[in-house]
Amino acid sequence: MSAPDKNKRVIIVRVESDIVLHPLGTLYMGNELKKAGYDVRVYNIFKHEIARTVEAIVEAKPLFAGFSTMTGLQTKYTHQMSEAVRARDKDIKIVWGGVHPTLLPEDCLKENCVDIVVMGEGEEIIVALADCLLSGGDLKGVRGIGYKSAGKLVIDSQRQFIKDLDKYEPDWSLLDDFEKCVTTLPDGMRQMDFVASRGCPYNCAFCYNLKFNDRRWRKHSFEYVINKIGYLRREHNIRAIHFHDDNFFVDMERAFRILEALKNMDVIATSCMIRLEVISDDIVNRLRALGVRRIFVGVESGSDRVLKMINKELTRETILEKFRLLSKFRDISVTAACIIGFPTETWNDIYKTIDLGVTISEIFPDVVVTFQTFIPYPGSRLYEVALENGFSLPRHMSEYDTFDTYKGEMNLTWLPWADEKTKTIFYRIDKYGKLLTHSKGSSPLRTAGKELFYRLSKARLRNRFFAFPWEISVLHKFNRYYNPKCPI
CA distance readout (Å), 411 to 369, 387, 437? 23, 13, 29
pLDDT digits (tens, 9 = 90+) for 207-224: 988 788 888 899 999 999
The answer regarding whether domain 274-482 maps to CATH 3.30.420.10 reads no
Q: What percent of the chain shows pLDDT beyond 70?
A: 94
pLDDT digits (tens, 9 = 90+) for 124-174: 899 999 999 999 999 998 999 999 998 899 998 777 788 899 999 999 999
pLDDT of residue 169: 93
- Residue 214: how many other CB atoms lie within 10 Å: 11
pLDDT of residue 20: 56
Gyration radius (Cα) of the chain, Å: 23
**Pairing status of strand 197-198 against strand 116-118:** unpaired
Query: How far from the centroid of its chain's Cα atoms is residue 409's Cα?
Result: 18
pLDDT digits (tens, 9 = 90+) for 327-379: 998 889 999 999 999 999 999 999 999 999 999 999 999 899 999 999 999 98
Asked if residue 4 has pLDDT above 60, the reply is no
Closest CA relative to residue 270, chosen from 217, 194, 329: 194
DSSP state of 488: -
Asked if residue 175 has pLDDT above 90, the reply is no
**Pairing status of strand 145-149 against strand 116-118:** antiparallel
pLDDT of residue 21: 64
Q: Are 124 and 31 in contact (CB under 8 A)?
A: no
Distance CA 204, CA 202 (A): 6
The answer regarding whether domain 6-155 maps to CATH 3.40.50.280 reads yes
pLDDT digits (tens, 9 = 90+) for 250-300: 999 999 999 999 999 999 999 999 999 999 999 999 999 999 999 999 999
Distance CA 126, CA 130 (A): 6
Asked if residue 121 has pLDDT above 70, the reply is yes
* Domain residue ranges of the chain, discontinuous segments joined by +: 6-155, 274-482
pTM of the model: 0.91
pLDDT of residue 479: 57
Count of CA atoms in the C-beta half-sphere (13 A) of 336: 30
Asked if residue 486 has pLDDT above 50, the reply is no
